[in-house]
Amino acid sequence: MDLFSNINKYIDHSNLKPYATFEDIEILCKEAVQYRFHAVCVNPFYVRYARTLLKGSDIKVCCVVGFPLGANSPKTKLVEASTAVNDGADELDIVWNIGAFKSSDYDFVENELKTIISYTQNVVHKVIVETAYLTPEEKEIAVKLVMNTGAEFIKTSTGFAPEGAKIEDIRLWKKIAGDKIKIKAAGGIRDFDTAVEMIKAGADRIGTSHGVEIVKGR
């Protein structure tokens, strides 16, 4: 795919701000249609509204789960994920339990994700691991763990942490995983050149609230 002319198809156009209004989501969806982004990414409250606004288009609706901390109970996350799918979500960006992972409770993290994925089949699952809080060694463990869950993507960041996507993390995961799992780079990607760098490093999707600026900057 030619990046210059098709970078829009890599973009999950996002508005996950806590103060986002119905008007903001309407603007988000209109921009997604105008620029033909891959998806819009919204909080659970707006999934049904976004689905209605995008009716008749091929733009996907992506919903975050356990956002932005990942510290909800497994049952809460499962209900949230299932509700999002019932409301019309095509893709789920799931924040894993960061604290459990940092506590080396890998079985808990993996089982929680496997349960959510098993109950929400036929949608795309992206696991947000929040790289800003991980050591280099933990980043290696993270990609291997996420591959075990059956998720289609590993995602760098929520955009709420001190740091977002880094080129070296994308390259690391691509080296370890190859084509066994896709990578979504998110957090701090605001211009065309940065988005292209991420894709060339191995990212298959870009999560950003600056999709319009990226496309206009090509």
Domain residue limits, the chain: 3-216
Active site residues: 93, 155, 184
**How confident is the model at residue 2, as a pLDDT?**
74
Q: CA-CA distance, 213 to 161, in Å (whole number)?
A: 22
pLDDT at 1 over 70: no
Q: CA-CA distance, 150 to 141, in Å (whole number)?
A: 15
Instruction: Tell me 126's DSSP state.
Output: E
Q: CA-CA distance, 82 to 85, in Å (whole number)?
A: 5
Query: For the domain bounded by 3-216, which CATH number is listed?
Result: 3.20.20.70
Arithmetic mean of pLDDT, 36-65: 98
Contacts of 72 (CB under 8 A, 6+ apart): 66, 80
Q: Would you say the pTM of this structure is higher than 0.85? A: yes
Q: Is 65 helix (H, G, I), strand (E, B) or coil?
A: strand
